[in-house]
Structure 1
């Protein structure tokens, strides 16, 4: 399927250049309105809109190179993570970029006093009338209305002068539509839906309901017996996971380490549920609470949630995600290691991924593409019940590992929007932070099983695969899901999950394949080529593929709303991986080493082109200087990352159905269902401790 792979390619295609009478070029265009939106009317020419010009950042073409340098074990810079200040300095727009855009605006009749440059010089802001904006951008601003009643100001396309276009990443508001579907009552009415403000609304855990009393009693009776492990296929507990993945570790450096779980309002945990779970499975943790970091009203949300929503509308939709994440995260890392809960958003606006990114990196608020004023919630929020404080901007310290179990459909977002957010995840990797995201629960379909029609429209019955985001971003680690087969012992090989959900996986339509996964993905495409028609998936062979790894996601027992239930999903498997990486960081910190950071280049053995070129140049110089008479070409062991293949259990059974198809198959080696497989903790620990 010949679809755009990189937002940069998307922009390059735009610059391939549609010439207009005023020497302008088409900069961005949206061919179709997102699902649920309709054109309402032309916008009032006298209305004022806040135009924001995101300036092109410096050195973005080297972002992957920089990240690989600190993430590839064979690089001399491995583990030398960057400071936030170095990141800001490296990627700041050039003075030429700033002056070019500023001079164009002044020359187009915008008074200089109305042109504001952000403190980091990454944004140029202009309050313009709609008439001015239409003329400036050679476009027509309209008002669009969503079926939920929400309105949006934007356009279908816009143009920039050719000499300006290369200096502008994007303009807001424009072709970017709101991906969040907000449903709420009047401002004085408590919110009564579960997806308010959450990024996406499909990657949430699924449940088959309450664990039958006889099953729970039977299982609890087995807790002290070796036979208990033989029933993990029926009801999976933390001890099952410890046995399954060889997790036997005592924390050594908890005071130096950190593990964060992100939750978006109105999801919030109940302490009574956490204690109920720990009473059964880890009594030493009873009474312990996560370290709550409030972002844009999140902590007040927790308080309000407990006293209002969670006493009146206690159900799985409101509490299931948070309870599940925290119960397993806290249990698996042990009583000594604190868990940080990032609670994001208030009860009125909620929040998006960008609100969280704003809080942990102040530079993102202003020049990394930043917030879309029509896509991301903004604070202070003057509505009743809203967060009255300023939006968080660089005020929250990120933890070493951050687990997120939410996501969008990639097709719901514009490529420039996904590109700037994906770049921010790369910068967090440069800082040594491991970003984990769930791969999705609908196989090759999007959230809630929505696929795409052959014309590009969202269609529940469409045949075209619908990858997720941020799962499609090459700079995060994406986690799929597996299961223990029925009646199988915990020591038996797992399979791709096919109970209640299917593990999300596939190939991006926005992002190109990164170097670290080329060997693995090419092996899959050459030896296990999918039989699907080329026009229903990105079959180009050059697209980012996901997931990266997997963990069990079936039959998790969780305490939610005062009862034990069974839970399924990549929402369950992702914090499991987060806990294991946190413990590996603990061991490295105790040994005086750095955290593992972005793990994909390490666990995916691959050719390190930059390091290879460097070695060749150095040896050529040495030979010319008569210092060395050996070969220029480095040995394979010098340029490939260490082999981590025996640190994962290869999953070779199962598939990820969706969109009226069987999806992809789990195969030997990497596959777009379970990635490299499930972890073998003792091997991962051994290998990471052997690295610098």
Structure 2
């Protein structure tokens, strides 16, 4: 992202000059937002005031309603504007804040000694670098260290304030109350001896049975099962696919090369040619894992993503985005701690680019209740802006079913038992992917809790839910309301019947063959089904572009109107999680497998491509 901010040191010096003076404001400070720390976090001591914080200030956007109108028109297959996606400049013009908003916020910052103010191209986000102790004064709050149960430590607060006259001009400021971590949706790392699911039956289709091994599922199996086998890309010069990496993840080229040599030898060159982008200090790497990296056990997720995509979508160019932010907290005054919110940093960087891939896959997410609604809405709006430009954003639905085991309690101070939906899976402007297992028939992915060599592994179940914050979009009304009506009073009060429901579709997500640190193993999760699905739809876009047509773009209106006919309905399984069997998988749409799994030839035909 091309922010105008200068180096961190310069901002820190300017800010410290203002620390000695009281915060100045036109109007009294009033609390803007309060949000509880999630149950998984333990409050520790005060944050190191000399550490730096990278504040992102979301200004009130100019005409977001108009942008959403454009998004729906260009994404509706029955609308005359279908496929006429907006340019980056057109999107920026729609969301740019009013002059008054920018002037008032900038006045407040400058009057308090903040001179290095960075804007994105739409000028709806301001970025500043400050010592935590000055951010506390600016926002009338206190930052503390919070430790996640996995050992991860971040500096956050549970409330912050603004001068009263700025409340209508600023939607959100983070990192403050958001405990967003961007955890990978991978249920299992390397497993050398996977268990055959109890429900597995050998496929009756000889072609599928010959290439599909339920304990190590390979690209040849996917290509046979979803019928991409034999398709040759025709528009790779016009097409591309991207995937995101967070928390220090980086795809390892030598591992990808080993994978492709074994399972897709004609595509092996893509291990060397996929492009890497470093965002906000995200890692880049061409060689193998170092000893320290292997000891830290990183890059399972990144390796899975690039291998799943390259194994199905050759010759489509691949882009890897590695975004810095939220490393473990190091309480050393000489070492500034980066506590960025990774999704926002990534999507704002992406929106500055004037050419972005038609499809991007993300295999990360976490409970909605760990994120303040104001921040969630703004991040979701940024995803809508990407969709208006013609890009499909695939996100994984999660691996804890309805919310895990013994963890389904609200984060509002009442500690009420309730199903826990995930974000960004619940954002209406992304296409959310669930996971299946077995082959004929496929069923929703599920593996019960178990003890492996003395280590407890929580259940793995395809993520399922109804948002507590986002209303059900119009394109979901018919199928979701029918499903909810058929449930009757089952689980009444435990989920929001009127919320955006997910997932939208599904694909294989159990025991993917992959390589890590030079060794082959298997890995499971919607982290696997999501890049696989993205790769299949990249081939659909290839067929469209080769036919002289536009890419699919924001997928959901098309998917719910006609695209669902190109998916194989899954009718077996349950959502599981929250100590119950959960929602049932049914005929038609359900909140575990969506409309089902891809049937590539049907999808190509429904999309309107020629010659396949």
What TM-score results when the alignment is normalised by the length of structure 1? 0.70
The alpha carbon displacement at 1:230 in A equals 7.3
Asked if the contact 1:512/1:543 (under 8 Å) is kept, the reply is: yes
The alpha carbon displacement at 1:154 in A equals 3.8
Q: Structure 1: any 5+ residue segments left out of the alignment? A: 1-21, 181-198, 213-221, 363-393, 485-489, 606-642
The alpha carbon displacement at 1:232 in A equals 3.6
What is the match of residue 322 of structure 1? 302
Asked if the contact 1:266/1:301 (under 8 Å) is kept, the reply is: no
Q: Deviations over 1:549-590 (max 9, x none)?
A: 101112322233334323221111111111111111111111
What is the match of residue 411 of structure 1? 369
Among 269, 292, 295, the alignment partner of 2:275 is 292
Asked if the contact 1:652/1:666 (under 8 Å) is kept, the reply is: yes
Q: Name the CA shift for 1:644/1:153 in 2 (closer, same or farther; >3 Å).
A: closer
The alpha carbon displacement at 1:662 in A equals 1.2
Q: Deviations over 1:316-365 (max 9, x none)?
A: x424322322222112112x332222233388859722232233123xxx
Which piece of structure 1 moves more, 562-571 or 246-255? 562-571
CA–CA distance in 1 between the matches of 2:447 and 2:320? 29
CA–CA distance in 2 between the matches of 1:519 and 1:211? 43
What secondary structure does 1:361 align onto? helix
What is the match of residue 358 of structure 2? 400
What is the match of residue 5 of structure 2? none
Q: Does 1:204 align with 2:186?
A: yes
What secondary structure does 1:152 align onto? strand
Q: Does 1:498 align with 2:454?
A: no
Which piece of structure 1 moves more, 235-244 or 573-582? 235-244
CA–CA distance in 1 between the matches of 2:87 and 2:399? 35
What secondary structure does 1:360 align onto? helix
What secondary structure does 1:545 align onto? strand
What is the match of residue 159 of structure 2? 156
CA–CA distance in 2 between the matches of 1:678 and 1:164? 47
The alpha carbon displacement at 1:443 in A equals 0.4
Q: Does 1:661 align with 2:577?
A: no
Q: Does 1:240 align with 2:196?
A: no
TM superposition outliers: structure 1 runs of 4+ over 6 Å: 22-25, 46-52, 124-137
Asked if the contact 1:441/1:503 (under 8 Å) is kept, the reply is: yes
Q: Deviations over 1:405-442 (max 9, x none)?
A: 11122111111111111111111001111111111111
CA–CA distance in 1 between the matches of 2:56 and 2:566? 47
CA–CA distance in 1 between the matches of 2:540 and 2:129? 50
What secondary structure does 1:200 align onto? coil
What secondary structure does 2:446 align onto? coil
CA–CA distance in 2 between the matches of 1:283 and 1:43? 51
CA–CA distance in 2 between the matches of 1:62 and 1:530? 38
What is the match of residue 35 of structure 2? 30
What TM-score results when the alignment is normalised by the length of structure 2? 0.79
Q: Deviations over 1:464-515 (max 9, x none)?
A: 211111101110011001111xxxxx4x321111236210010112211111
Task: Please show how residues 572-591 of structure 1 align to structure 2 within 5 Å.
Answer: 572-591=528-547
Q: Name the CA shift for 1:401/1:530 in 2 (closer, same or farther; >3 Å).
A: farther
What secondary structure does 1:69 align onto? helix
The alpha carbon displacement at 1:160 in A equals 4.3
Q: Name the CA shift for 1:277/1:172 in 2 (closer, same or farther; >3 Å).
A: closer
The alpha carbon displacement at 1:546 in A equals 0.6
Q: Does 1:341 align with 2:327?
A: no
Task: Please show how residues 508-587 of structure 1 align to structure 2 within 5 Å.
Answer: 508-529=467-488, 531-534=490-493, 536-538=494-496, 541-587=497-543
Aligned length: 546
What secondary structure does 2:447 align onto? coil
CA–CA distance in 1 between the matches of 2:126 and 2:222? 51
CA–CA distance in 2 between the matches of 1:553 and 1:441? 10
Asked if the contact 2:212/2:218 (under 8 Å) is kept, the reply is: no
